[in-house]
């Protein structure tokens, strides 16, 4: 009998201990010291949004320039404007390759010395290598240079002509009796003046100063007396009835010889008679 009650009693004791433990109140949490600030709860940083990877895909152009017959044109200047700006010139085969162009719309201009300028608009996609074939028309032939204007014909100035004079008839011996020089050093008297001719009677007791007519010729006739004439520095003797011709621009002078006055009939022609001196 004793052996059977012992296990039952042990089981009862164990069950009682477990029940008591389950009903025991929990130990209260320790209070923070007076005046202490509570620690903030740790925060988790917000998640960053994921960005799409940037694209670096660009395109290019393979440009070929020809004439209307299909022959390639080297040396054509190409200007590309748009999302990317480029400038270049076609090579000896008429080709130009342009790379690293952003996608977008472009305006291409083609210029050359012997072609008509041309513009074209194209749209390039990302990653595309676009073939651009352009045919340029030849420039028209330049007009021939104008013929040089004929040289102006130099105007020949009209010869100055003095006024027309009156007819004159004079007896030289009678005239000399009235206009004789006497003891005066020199006397010059106009006999006639018409147009570009002037006739003068010259009477000399003393040497006549040197004269020079730039635009007129002059001839002298020795009416009376004797003397010397010096032309361009060369003296010569002139008796009565001598004739002397002096071209324009030639210096000359007269002086008498002997006791009688030297009388000269001078005719000057080539300039208005009123200007002669």
Number of domains observed in the structure of the chain? 2
Q: Within a domain: residue 206?
A: yes
- Identify the pLDDT of residue 196: 84
- Show which of 135, 155, 185 is a domain's final residue: 135
When pLDDT is cut at 50, 70 and 90, the band that residue 53 belongs to is very low
- Claim to verify: residue 192 and residue 107 sit in the same structural domain: no
Nearest alpha carbon to residue 100 among 117, 122, 84, 121: 84
Structural domain harbouring 177: 172-275
Contact 221, 190 (CB under 8 A): no
If one counts every other C-beta atom within 10 angstroms of the C-beta of residue 254, the result is 23
- Claim to verify: residue 112 and residue 203 sit in the same structural domain: no
If one counts every other C-beta atom within 10 angstroms of the C-beta of residue 197, the result is 18
Of residues 101 and 44, more confidently modeled? 101
Q: Within a domain: residue 109?
A: yes
Q: What is the CATH number of the domain that holds 115?
A: 2.60.40.10
When pLDDT is cut at 50, 70 and 90, the band that residue 12 belongs to is very low
When pLDDT is cut at 50, 70 and 90, the band that residue 167 belongs to is confident
Q: What is the pLDDT of residues 29-47, one digit of tens each?
A: 455 555 555 555 555 555 5
Q: Within a domain: residue 17?
A: no
- Claim to verify: residue 101 and residue 184 sit in the same structural domain: no
Q: Which of 35-49, 172-186, 207-221 has the lowest mean pLDDT?
A: 35-49
- Identify the pLDDT of residue 153: 85
Contact 92, 74 (CB under 8 A): yes
Q: Within a domain: residue 165?
A: no
* C-alpha angle 190-192-196 in degrees, rounded to nearest 5: 110
- Claim to verify: residue 122 and residue 210 sit in the same structural domain: no
Q: Within a domain: residue 148?
A: no
The span from the CA of 259 to the CA of 111, in Å, is 101
Of residues 9 and 104, more confidently modeled? 104
- Identify the pLDDT of residue 166: 81
The span from the CA of 41 to the CA of 53, in Å, is 36
Nearest alpha carbon to residue 222 among 202, 236, 241: 241
When pLDDT is cut at 50, 70 and 90, the band that residue 86 belongs to is very high
- Identify the pLDDT of residue 45: 55
Q: What is the CATH number of the domain that holds 236?
A: 2.60.120.10
Q: Within a domain: residue 195?
A: yes
Q: Within a domain: residue 153?
A: no
Locus of tokens 């030639």:
250
- Show which of 135, 163, 184 is a domain's final residue: 135
Q: Which of 52-56, 104-108, 135-139, 228-232 has the lowest mean pLDDT?
A: 52-56
- The predicted model scores a pTM of 0.44
Of residues 151 and 8, more confidently modeled? 151
When pLDDT is cut at 50, 70 and 90, the band that residue 220 belongs to is very high
- Claim to verify: residue 182 and residue 268 sit in the same structural domain: yes
Of residues 88 and 17, more confidently modeled? 88
- Claim to verify: residue 259 and residue 178 sit in the same structural domain: yes
Q: Strand 197-204 vs strand 262-269: parallel, antiparallel, or unpaired?
A: antiparallel
The span from the CA of 76 to the CA of 238, in Å, is 91
- Claim to verify: residue 186 and residue 256 sit in the same structural domain: yes
- Show which of 108, 135, 162 is a domain's final residue: 135
């Amino acid at each position: 009998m004793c052996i059977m009650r012992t296990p039952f009693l042990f089981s009862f004791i164990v069950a009682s201990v477990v029940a008591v433990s389950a009903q025991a109140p929990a130990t209260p949490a320790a209070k923070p010291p007076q005046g202490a600030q509570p620690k903030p709860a740790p925060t988790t940083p917000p998640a960053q949004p994921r960005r799409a990877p940037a694209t670096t895909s660009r395109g290019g152009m393979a440009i070929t320039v020809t004439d209307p017959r299909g022959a390639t044109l080297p040396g054509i200047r190409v200007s590309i404007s748009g999302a990317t700006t480029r400038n270049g010139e076609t090579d000896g085969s008429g080709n130009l390759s342009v790379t690293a162009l952003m996608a977008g719309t472009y305006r291409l201009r083609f210029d050359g010395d012997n072609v008509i300028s041309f513009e074209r608009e194209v749209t390039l996609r990302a990653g595309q290598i676009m073939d651009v074939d352009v045919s340029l028309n030849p420039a028209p032939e330049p007009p021939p240079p104008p013929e040089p204007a004929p040289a102006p014909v130099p105007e020949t100035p009209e010869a100055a002509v003095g006024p027309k004079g009156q007819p004159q008839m004079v007896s030289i011996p009678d005239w000399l009796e009235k206009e004789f020089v006497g003891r005066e050093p020199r006397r010059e008297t106009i006999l006639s003046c018409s147009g570009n001719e002037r006739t003068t009677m010259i009477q000399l007791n003393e040497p006549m100063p040197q004269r020079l007519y730039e635009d007129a010729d002059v001839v002298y006739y020795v009416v009376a007396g004797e003397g010397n004439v010096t032309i361009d520095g060369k003296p010569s003797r002139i008796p009565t009835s001598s004739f002397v011709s002096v071209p324009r621009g030639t210096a000359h002078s007269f002086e008498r010889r002997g006791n009688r006055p030297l009388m000269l009939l001078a005719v000057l022609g080539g300039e208005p008679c009123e200007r002669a001196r």
